[in-house]
């Protein structure tokens, strides 16, 4: 079996993330990781909070906290939400860790030794009103390419073009709003990406045919436009310090590395954090995943489209320039945006549903299923409360939940609390077994291809097949004339419930556990269902004790829908 290294885009530290962040990186990575573990693969799923940069400093200042204290508290708050969503990270680290400081500084030294970092004097925006140089992210203005009037000095959120602060039309301080900006000279380190262009092009060319079109097209667009040398240091108090043994003058000035230089390195550092946090008596080898990793390690990254350039071009350039055998990504699963009634979710503008609010409303499995079943893979997709309510009611409450409840409740009422005996499988059961085996194979194919909407469709079809079988056999009628026939139908349906419990786990882990606990099966440690087992549907034998669980998914009412719309808005608010 392969070893699968999986990372998802690092959530930024300043605030709880919205549903768009969840579906664009962490949740699909978790679904894929869970599936691979079930199939017997060795999986390491790594993520972390991205803690450096001006926004962290400003958020800490607003709360009257030292920035390190603020980040520690914010990390714990985010981790609690991700635990609530049942994200099964192997390690959820922090980019402010000592491991990241050490590895980032090591990368910088090696890049300098190899001629890919140089010190340059530049003219940078200074705000007298704020008494500081403004990092590019905190200069705002109008994008010269698309006219978006809230573009940042590092990148336009609207058209994704990379910018410098001096590119902006009508620039202003994002801190004070002052337009009285000056340009002063200061020194910074530059990563000479232009010298690495050819190597990055060759590397991308070896991978882009396998990548989704979205990831490949964004990488190719950047390379076609040409890689430019980029400043990788900033004038901030919080960040990975420039090492004094290599750049003493810049270190004395308090320069730190740009967050987008150290953040991708945190994937490696967080893996070392995982190794360093091993329980007593356990040894974890982090380097075998990242340094001179053999061909059995397959590295998959999950991210939204605005992060793609940094992971397909900028970080690979860094890794190539280090001239050491660090593992580079094999497959980039890129997502478009989930919108809120056609408008953008916005952390800064509090527009849309945020992950902590979502968990206050309904359990995680409602959200996990809906988001993955409507993942923005081929295009942007829109969250509406109407669509959410309809999906929950049709797929989760009716197709799955009602099937489980009606089968178990009816069987308990007519046969008692053990799986009923009687009857021999016939033509209907043979057809059902073939259909289930075929749908399960389709589900596996789509999961392995990282086609999440198609995988959700196959899973939904598996659930629907049980309902169709139940309607065809009608045990509530069979019981009147042929008790053994009714017993066979219900026993077959119970085997479907157990199958659903196993294969639905990547999507709805809590509900899957509840379904699996229905049956008292001694020694049931199976992690997947093979094709022959799917055809036979006999893993839960007659005489197995069972219980009827509480309602798995409550139907949402019109009153619920109106309450959600009133609380969060039924349409996007103006930006």
Q: Which residues are annotated as a binding site for ATP?
A: 347
The Cα–Cα gap between 98 and 119 comes to: 25
| Structure token digits, residue 56 | 């962290």
Q: Which residues are annotated as a binding site for Zn(2+)?
A: 143, 146, 156, 159
The Cα–Cα gap between 268 and 31 comes to: 22
The residues that bridge with 418 in the sheet, in sequence order, are 545
The Cα–Cα gap between 476 and 473 comes to: 9
Helix, strand or coil, per DSSP, at residue 161: coil
Tokens 């958020």 locate to 59
The Cα–Cα gap between 232 and 230 comes to: 6
| Structure token digits, residue 222 | 């950047």
Strands 182-191, 117-127: pairing is antiparallel
| Structure token digits, residue 133 | 């140089």
The Cα–Cα gap between 312 and 317 comes to: 9
Measured on CA atoms in the order 328, 111, 105, 306, is the torsion positive or negative? negative
The Cα–Cα gap between 329 and 323 comes to: 16
Q: Going by C-beta distance under 8 Å and a sequence separation of 6 or more, which residues neighbour residue 533?
A: 499, 539
| Structure token digits, residue 80 | 């609690």
Tokens 């980040």 locate to 71
Q: Which residues are annotated as a binding site?
A: 143, 146, 156, 159, 347
Q: Which residue, 47, 11, 236, 247, is CA-closest to 134?
A: 236
């Amino acid at each position: 079996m392969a070893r699968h290294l999986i990372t998802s885009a690092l959530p930024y530290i300043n605030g709880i993330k919205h549903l768009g962040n969840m579906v664009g990186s962490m949740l699909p990575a978790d679904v894929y990781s869970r599936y691979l573990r079930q199939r017997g693969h060795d999986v390491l799923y790594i993520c972390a909070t991205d803690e450096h940069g001006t926004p962290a400093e400003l958020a800490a200042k607003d709360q009257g906290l030292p920035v390190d204290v603020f980040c520690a508290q914010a990390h714990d708050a985010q981790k609690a939400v991700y635990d609530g969503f049942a994200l099964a990270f192997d390690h959820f680290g922090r980019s402010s860790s000592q491991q990241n400081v050490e590895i980032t500084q090591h990368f910088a030294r090696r890049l300098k030794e190899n001629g890919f970092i140089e010190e340059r004097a530049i003219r940078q925006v200074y705000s007298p009103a704020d008494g500081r140089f403004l990092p590019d992210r905190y200069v705002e203005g109008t994008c010269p390419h698309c006219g978006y009037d809230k573009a940042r000095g590092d990148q336009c959120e609207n058209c994704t073009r990379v910018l410098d602060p001096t590119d902006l039309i009508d620039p202003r301080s994002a801190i004070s709003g002052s337009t009285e900006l000056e340009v002063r000279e200061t020194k910074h380190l530059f990563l000479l990406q232009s010298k690495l262009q050819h190597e990055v092009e060759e590397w991308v060319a070896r991978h882009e045919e396998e990548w989704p079109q979205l990831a490949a097209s964004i990488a190719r667009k950047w390379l076609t436009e040409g890689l430019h040398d980029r400043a990788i240091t900033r004038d901030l108090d919080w960040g990975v310090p420039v090492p004094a043994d290599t750049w003493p003058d810049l270190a004395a000035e308090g320069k730190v590395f740009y967050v987008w230089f150290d953040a991708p390195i945190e994937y490696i550092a967080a893996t070392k954090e995982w190794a360093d946090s091993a329980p007593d008596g356990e040894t974890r080898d982090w380097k075998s995943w990242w340094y001179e990793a053999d061909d059995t390690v397959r590295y998959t990254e999950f991210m939204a489209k605005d992060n793609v350039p940094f992971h397909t071009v900028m970080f690979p350039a860094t890794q190539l320039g280090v001239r050491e055998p660090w593992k580079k990504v094999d497959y980039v699963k890129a997502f478009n945006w989930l919108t809120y009634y056609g408008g953008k979710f916005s952390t800064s503008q509090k527009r849309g549903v945020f992950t902590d609010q979502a968990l206050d409303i309904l359990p995680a499995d409602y959200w996990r299923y809906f988001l993955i079943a409507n993942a923005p893979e081929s295009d942007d997709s829109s969250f509406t409360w109407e669509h959410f309510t309809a999906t929950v009611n049709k797929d989760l409450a009716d197709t799955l939940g009602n099937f489980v409840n009606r089968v178990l409740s009816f069987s308990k009422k007519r046969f008692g609390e053990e799986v009923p005996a009687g009857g021999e499988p016939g033509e209907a059961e043979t057809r059902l077994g073939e259909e289930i085996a075929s749908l399960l194979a389709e589900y596996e194919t789509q999961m392995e291809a990282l086609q999440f909407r198609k995988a959700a469709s196959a899973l939904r079809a598996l659930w629907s097949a049980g309902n169709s079988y139940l309607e065809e056999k009608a045990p509530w009628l069979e019981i009147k004339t042929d008790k053994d026939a009714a017993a066979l139908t219900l026993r077959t349906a119970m085997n479907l419930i157990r199958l659903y419990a196993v294969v639905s786990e990547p999507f709805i882990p809590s509900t899957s556990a509840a379904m699996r606990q229905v049956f008292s099966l001694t020694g049931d440690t199976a992690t997947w269902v093979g094709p022959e087992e799917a055809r036979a549907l006999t893993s839960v034998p007659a005489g197995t004790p069972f219980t009827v669980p509480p309602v798995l998914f409550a139907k949402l009412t019109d009153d619920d829908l109106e309450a959600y719309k009133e609380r969060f808005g039924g349409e996007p608010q103006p930006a």
